[in-house]
């Protein structure tokens, strides 16, 4: 029996419903396994416009047979649902709140109440959190994931069995996954795949596979297609931001290897004059970069992991 938010879901059943803070009902699918086991929370689109995770979660929820499950699965296919329909860029449109930066939330805003709902109503039941992202509307990326340093051992043990090759430690305490892993002590992973508001089938199916691999590794659901591929931990990242407003012309692609001194991109003003050249400060590999034209002061341009910090696991 899964008891959550006043609902009781009998063993070996699945319920399609809505749960959330008052006035903000979120679509969710609750699956209670036939046998007792771990409980996992799987979320997508806490950042609206990061699409690939949403159909992956929906399809997995549909496919799961609770008769064959051991433990419980809470699927939330679209957390920032108003942002999704209003086409806001990642944030909750009612208050411009960032659900990957406002935890543990508060009662004063819609985004604060969503975060608070997860912390207070959901996290106490949860053994593992899997949060699916993509690059934003102008951010191309190569598949990578972030794991919280405070729950490194348990989080990494799951990360190692997924399809994503690059693993990045995170100290974040203000996002859903970061708060879960670094504050609440719940192992978690924040996955990144796809970008630019695309929702390609290949990304959806890779995310479906990651969900099933994760469920298998947690002992919740058996999955036959286990395979172990080499993973690389990037212990040191460089997050290059724009030093001033300008137009951005990148010279890199996602996954590209760069050498110290290589040009990452340049900015120009509206008259075509060069403003800045941004160069790699060390050898590394590009995880994500801004692929659009806008370089606003302080915003991310490129994130790359340093070659010297790579650890193959
Ligand atoms: Zn995101």
Mean pLDDT of 96-110: 97
pLDDT surpassing 90 at residue 224: no
Range of the structural domain that residue 121 is part of = 2-232
Mean pLDDT of 270-296: 97
pLDDT surpassing 80 at residue 228: no
What are the contacts of 155-160 at 24+ separation with CB within 8 A?
A: 155/181, 155/187, 155/188, 155/189, 156/233, 156/313, 157/217, 158/128, 158/187, 158/189, 158/214, 158/217, 158/218, 159/189, 159/231, 160/228, 160/231, 160/313
119 CA from centroid of ligand 1 (Å): 19
Paired sense of beta strands 35-44 and 70-76, if any:
parallel
What is the residue-wise DSSP string for 116-150?
HHIIIIIGGG-SEEEEEE---TTEEE-SEEEEEGG
At which residue do the structure tokens 């191309």 appear?
140
More confident residue, 94 or 226: 94
Query: Do 133 and 272 reside in the same domain of the chain?
Result: no
Query: Do 160 and 49 reside in the same domain of the chain?
Result: yes
Q: Residue 203's closest CA among 306, 52, 1, 307?
A: 52
Share of the chain above pLDDT 70, in %: 100
Query: Do 15 and 41 reside in the same domain of the chain?
Result: yes
Query: Do 308 and 159 reside in the same domain of the chain?
Result: no
- Choosing from 174, 199, 232, the residue where a domain stops is 232
pTM across the whole model: 0.97
Q: Residue 40's closest CA among 31, 52, 51?
A: 31
31 neighbors 12 (Cβ within 8 angstroms): no
Query: Do 115 and 28 reside in the same domain of the chain?
Result: yes
> Could you list which residues have their CB under 5 Å from ion ligand 1?
47, 50, 133
Q: Residue 44's closest CA among 60, 56, 62?
A: 56
Query: Do 58 and 136 reside in the same domain of the chain?
Result: yes
Residue 159: its pLDDT value, please? 97
Model confidence at 227, in pLDDT bands (50, 70, 90)?
confident
For 18-73, the pLDDT digits (tens) are 999 999 999 999 999 999 999 999 999 999 999 999 999 999 999 999 999 999 99
Q: How many domains does the chain have?
A: 2
Query: Do 249 and 298 reside in the same domain of the chain?
Result: yes
Euclidean distance between CA atoms 104 and 115, whole angstroms: 6
Paired sense of beta strands 263-268 and 274-279, if any:
antiparallel
Query: Do 29 and 163 reside in the same domain of the chain?
Result: yes
pLDDT surpassing 90 at residue 221: yes
For 138-194, the pLDDT digits (tens) are 999 999 999 999 999 999 999 999 999 999 999 999 999 999 999 999 999 999 999
Q: Phi and psi of 231, rounded to 5°?
A: -120, 155
9 CA from centroid of ligand 1 (Å): 31
Query: Do 174 and 270 reside in the same domain of the chain?
Result: no
Q: What is the CATH number of the domain that holds 270?
A: 2.40.50.100
Query: Do 178 and 250 reside in the same domain of the chain?
Result: no
Retrieve residue 49's tokens: 């416009």
Residue 245: its pLDDT value, please? 98
135 CA from centroid of ligand 1 (Å): 6
Mean residue pLDDT of the chain comes to 97
Write out the H or E segment, with its range, that includes residue 112.
Answer: helix 110-117
217 CA from centroid of ligand 1 (Å): 24
247 CA from centroid of ligand 1 (Å): 23
- Choosing from 232, 254, 285, the residue where a domain stops is 232
Query: Do 301 and 242 reside in the same domain of the chain?
Result: yes
- Choosing from 180, 199, 232, the residue where a domain stops is 232
What is the residue-wise DSSP string for 172-226?
--SSHHHHHHHTS---EEEEE---TT---HHHHHHHHHHHHHHHHHTTSS--S--
Residue 225: its pLDDT value, please? 77
């Amino acid at each position: 029996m899964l008891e959550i938010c006043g609902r009781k879901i009998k063993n070996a059943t699945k319920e399609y419903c809505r749960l959330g803070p008052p006035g903000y009902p979120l679509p969710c699918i609750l699956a209670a396994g036939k046998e007792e086991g771990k409980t996992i929370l799987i979320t997508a689109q806490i950042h609206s416009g990061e699409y690939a995770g949403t159909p992956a979660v929906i399809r997995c929820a549909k496919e799961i047979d609770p008769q064959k499950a051991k433990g419980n699965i809470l699927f939330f296919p679209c957390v920032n649902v108003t942002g999704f329909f209003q086409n806001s860029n990642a944030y909750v449109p009612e208050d411009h709140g960032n659900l990957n930066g406002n935890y543990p939330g508060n009662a004063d805003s819609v985004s604060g109440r969503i975060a608070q709902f997860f912390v207070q109503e959901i996290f106490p039941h949860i053994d593992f959190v899997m949060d699916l992202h993509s690059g934003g509307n102008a951010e191309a990326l190569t598949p990578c994931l972030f794991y919280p340093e405070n729950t490194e051992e348990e989080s990494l043990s799951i990360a190692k069995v997924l399809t994503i090759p690059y693993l990045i430690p995170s100290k974040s305490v203000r996002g859903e996954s970061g708060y879960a892993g670094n504050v609440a002590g719940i192992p978690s992973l924040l996955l990144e795949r796809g970008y630019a508001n695309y929702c390609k089938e290949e990304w959806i199916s890779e995310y479906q596979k990651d969900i099933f691999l994760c469920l298998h590794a947690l002992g919740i659901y058996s999955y036959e297609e286990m395979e172990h591929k080499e993973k690389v931990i990037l212990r040191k990242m460089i997050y290059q931001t724009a030093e001033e407003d300008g137009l951005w012309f990148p010279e890199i692609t996602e996954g590209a290897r760069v050498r110290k001194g290589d040009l990452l991109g340049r900015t120009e003003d509206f008259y075509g004059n060069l403003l800045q050249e941004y160069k790699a400060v060390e050898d590394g590999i590009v995880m994500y970069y801004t692929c659009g034209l806008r370089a606003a002061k302080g915003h991310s341009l490129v994130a790359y992991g340093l070659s010297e910090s790579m650890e193959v696991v």
